[in-house]
Amino acid sequence: MNSFLPDFEARSEWASLHDVKVAEVSPSLEPICIEMRVPGSKSFTNRAMIVGALANGTSKFFGILRSDDSYWCIDTLRKLGVDITVDDDVVEIKGVNTSWPVKDAKLYIGAAGTTARFLPGALAVSSSGRWIIQGSKRMNERPMSSLIEALRNIGADIRCLNEEGYLPIEITGNGISGGVVNMSGSTSSQFISGVLLASTYAKEPVTIQIVDHIVQQSYVKITINLMRQFGVKVEHDEDLKRITVYPGEYIGREMQLEADASTSGYFFGLAAITNGKVRITNLSYDTFQPDIKLVDVLEKMGCRVERGNGYIELQGTPHLKGGFDISMKEMSDQTLTLAAIAPFADGPIAIHDVAHIRKHESDRIHVICESLKQMGIQVEEREDGLTVYPGHPKATVLNSYDDHRVAMSLAMIGARVPGIRITDPGSVSKTCPTFFEELKKLGLQVKLEK
Ligand SMILES: O=C(O)C1=C[C@@H](OP(=O)(O)O)[C@@H](O)[C@H](O)C1
Ligand SMILES: C=C(OP(=O)(O)O)C(=O)O
């Protein structure tokens, strides 16, 4: 694994640390005590872009995330001929009402699971055009088959160009019909979101029946909520086993996007392990973003959480409680955050139900286990999770494996252990190019080596 090479092609103009080889992180000399804002949510940004582009009329989004994932999504939509103006974190987008002006293009979507899973349906609904979607090396290895199969079942014309079920794919715009489609949600919730987003433009209602369970159901709720806010009728039962979308159209509108709860998790985690205090002033507990629930876990571990009106404050503790089992299925992007916090707790923490994250930006279960072991921490790796035992991590050089969450989680350990060295720290640019700048603002000592 040490010969691992990042895929630099997926780093965009919005990435940071282009020529930085190593970031060394060491503890703050003062207790952490900060009020901060976090960048916009990746999930909201890329949904909003695609819905805004499909829509009838103009949309304006405030508080977008500027990162690799959103850069490639916007770049792709521009290559499709959509008129998009970006001014700092505000975007204006002139919807094309499903008629993409550029009818023939090769579209590079970088490493973004969201764009990879939301765009195919958005293209398939068009009545004409032929496009190729290709992704980063890792995105080309990540699963797409349930999505492709489901879209084909409602009439989409999609051809896999290399291996069946993977990018690159060719999509021919021929409209979609509708009907009942059975889907599995156990690999990725994004497949369900991708079919839902397209279904607005089917000729007949589309009903998705989930044959098993949806990992991270909340992301499907975010999709449904957004579709409704853009004027589309969606009905579902209580446990999201059956969801129906009625034919309609998205109507362009203005919208303030939420801050990223997943990014916030690292800063709450930093307060937790240093007995510090972090208040995030543009995030509310009242959100569908599942990762907000990390604060509940940290509260259970002894931290004090204030869920305010438009802010969340977390005060750490000198004595973090461990000794519990937890299912992270519903907030699996925080698995690595909790695994990095776990050595500082007073008992083992066993994380379950996250087998699907082996198919994310890296094989996350394996990578975090290897990294913790490298620091001398005892871990047990299981197919669906891991157990981390209390210990004293040793400073060492750690690979980020081109995975933003690996880099950000391991960097947190530097808040307690001087000299944690992370190679290719620029991988954070997928969702948070400013991460190491923020660490400095918290008081951590960060050295960037070229
Ligand atoms: O829909 C979304 O915005 C997301 C869904 C989740 O993916 P999976 O359901 O594939 O795990 C999550 O991990 C990802 O970061 C964002
Ligand atoms: C899994 C993630 O991203 P993606 O949207 O590429 O699936 C993530 O951000 O942790």
- In order of 227, 322, 338, 341, 360, the CA distances from 344 in angstroms are 42, 9, 10, 6, 26
How far does residue 130's CA lie from ligand 2's centre (Å)? 27
Can you list the domains of the chain with their CATH numbers?
8-39+259-449 (3.65.10.10), 42-256 (3.65.10.10)
Ligand 1 atom showing the smallest separation from residue 216 Cα: 9
* Rounded CA separation 39/63 (Å): 7
For residue 188, say whether it is annotated as part of any ligand binding site: yes
Query: Is residue 431 in contact with ligand 2, taking CB distance under 6 Å?
Result: yes
Distance between alpha carbon 119 and the CA centroid of its chain, in Å?
16
Element (H, E) at 58: strand 58-62
Query: Is residue 187 in contact with ligand 2, taking CB distance under 6 Å?
Result: no
Ligand 2 atom showing the smallest separation from residue 188 Cα: 7
With contact defined as beta carbons under 8 Å apart, do 50 and 197 qualify?
Answer: yes
With contact defined as beta carbons under 8 Å apart, do 98 and 201 qualify?
Answer: yes
Pocket test for ligand 2, best of 137, 331, 430 (most atoms within 8 A of CB): 430
Give backbone dihedrals phi and psi of 220, rounded to 5 degrees, phi first.
Answer: -70, -35
Q: How many residues does the chain have?
A: 450
Closest CA to 422 of 437, 442, 446, 400: 400
* Rounded CA separation 26/399 (Å): 17
Phi-psi region of 443 (alpha: psi -120 to 50; beta: other; left: phi over 0): left
For residue 360, say whether it is annotated as part of any ligand binding site: yes
Q: What pTM was estimated for this model as a whole?
A: 0.98
Closest CA to 345 of 273, 274, 397: 273
DSSP 430: G
Q: What is the dihedral of CA 317, 320, 325, 327, to 10 degrees?
A: 40
What pLDDT score does 1 carry? 46
* Rounded CA separation 404/416 (Å): 20
Strands 206-210 and 179-183: parallel
- Give the CA angle between residues 357, 395, 6 to the nearest 5°: 45
Query: Is residue 291 in contact with ligand 1, taking CB distance under 6 Å?
Result: no
E-state strands within 205-284: 206-210, 234-236, 242-245, 254-256, 277-280
DSSP string, 384-403: TEEEE----PPP-EEE-TT-
How far does residue 361's CA lie from ligand 2's centre (Å)? 7
pLDDT per residue of the chain (450 residues) written in tens, 0 to 9: 456 899 999 999 999 999 999 999 999 999 999 999 999 999 999 999 999 999 999 999 999 999 999 999 999 999 999 999 999 999 999 999 999 999 999 999 999 999 999 999 999 999 999 999 999 999 999 999 999 999 999 999 999 999 999 999 999 999 999 999 999 999 999 999 999 999 999 999 999 999 999 999 999 999 999 999 999 999 999 999 999 999 999 999 999 999 999 999 999 999 999 999 999 999 999 999 999 999 999 999 999 999 999 999 999 999 999 999 999 999 999 999 999 999 999 999 999 999 999 999 999 999 999 999 999 999 999 999 999 999 999 999 999 999 999 999 999 999 999 999 999 999 999 999 999 999 999 999 999 999
Query: Is residue 190 in contact with ligand 1, taking CB distance under 6 Å?
Result: yes
How far does residue 189's CA lie from ligand 1's centre (Å)? 6
- Give the CA angle between residues 2, 3, 5 to the nearest 5°: 115
Return the amino acid letter for 38: V
* Rounded CA separation 415/442 (Å): 10
Count other C-beta atoms under 10 Å from residue 402's C-beta.
24
* Rounded CA separation 371/377 (Å): 9
For residue 440, say whether it is annotated as part of any ligand binding site: no
Ligand 2 atom showing the smallest separation from residue 357 Cα: 1
- In order of 28, 31, 146, 421, 434, the CA distances from 259 in angstroms are 25, 25, 30, 28, 14
* Rounded CA separation 145/148 (Å): 5
With contact defined as beta carbons under 8 Å apart, do 32 and 442 qualify?
Answer: yes
Catalytic center residues: 333
Q: Which protein residue's CA is at the shortest distance from atom 5 of ligand 2?
A: 113
Q: Which protein residue's CA is at the shortest distance from atom 6 of ligand 2?
A: 113
